[in-house]
Amino acid sequence: MDFYNILKVIFLGIVEGITEWLPISSTGHLILVDQFLKLDASNDFKEMFNVVIQLGAILAVVVLYFNKLNPFARNKSDIEKKDTWSLWFKVVVACIPAGVLGILFDDFLEEHFHKFVPVAMMLILYGILFIIVENRNKTIKPTTTTLNQLTYKTAFIIGLFQVLSLIPGTSRSGATIIGAMIIGCSRYVAAEFTFFLGIPVMFGASGVKILKFLLKGNSFGSPEIILLSIGTIVSFVVSILAIKFLMGYIKKHDFKVFGWYRIILGTIILIYWLTTL
């Protein structure tokens, strides 16, 4: 096992753990990092690795919100258990659009959009949208301020916005947070529902990637298992810190700083790409 490969995986796990929850695109960052920090592995493995380590990030949500997400918790009343089941059903409804289209167009998106220019353009575009939406919301009071107020219709519309995140550089959390805020959700509700929405989405996406990896004739040896395990564990630990930071941050601040970050990063990427032509 190459020691430098392990260090690269640790760094990728850190990048995933931070960028999965901050609305700045985890997949986009992993693609960009790989351009400069080449993981010594096959392209098939790297494509699968970039998705599967997101399971660590998702497990962080499960741990942090276990009681809120657990409909069998003994300390919950019957009404609270019913509300928890309702939340899960809304999550399922919101997952349908991206789940269906993701399976149908995964290969096409992988071939045409996992590149510098599409990632940079999406970073800039959604950075601008964050700033526009936040400026608009200064004069508009949110109509959905708790998860219980979130309707099935609202959940499905948020799910439609999640479809946009199939293009790298968009950011799954970025697309759903912007969508939720546009249709009247508060920042806090938008962020929390985005976290929960990621659980089935990431488990499903990881399953699809692993299956495709195996169907191509690949196999999991000790090196692959070790690299995946390290990346997943690191992304789990870093995700816990990132989620706590984000939820504390948005209590006092808006998302415009992430919008400016996206615009600056996307511009730098485009300039770099132009210099390599």
Check whether 273 has a pLDDT greater than 80.
Answer: yes
CA gap 277, 274 in Å, rounded: 5
Which sequence spans correspond to the domains of the chain? Answer: 3-276
Residues 6 or more apart from 203 whose CB is under 8 A from it? 55, 58
CA gap 155, 43 in Å, rounded: 35
CA gap 219, 200 in Å, rounded: 25
Q: How confident is the model at residue 1 (pLDDT cuts 50, 70, 90)?
A: low
pTM beyond 0.75: the answer is yes
Residues 6 or more apart from 200 whose CB is under 8 A from it? 91, 92, 95, 99
27 touches 168 (CB < 8 A): yes
pLDDT of 246 = 93
CA atoms within 13 A on the CB side of 60: 25
Residues 82-123 pLDDT 10s = 999 999 999 999 999 988 888 788 778 777 787 888 889 999
CA gap 23, 151 in Å, rounded: 23
Closest CA to 132 of 76, 63, 182: 182
CA gap 199, 25 in Å, rounded: 16
Q: Which residue has better confidence, 210 or 151? A: 151
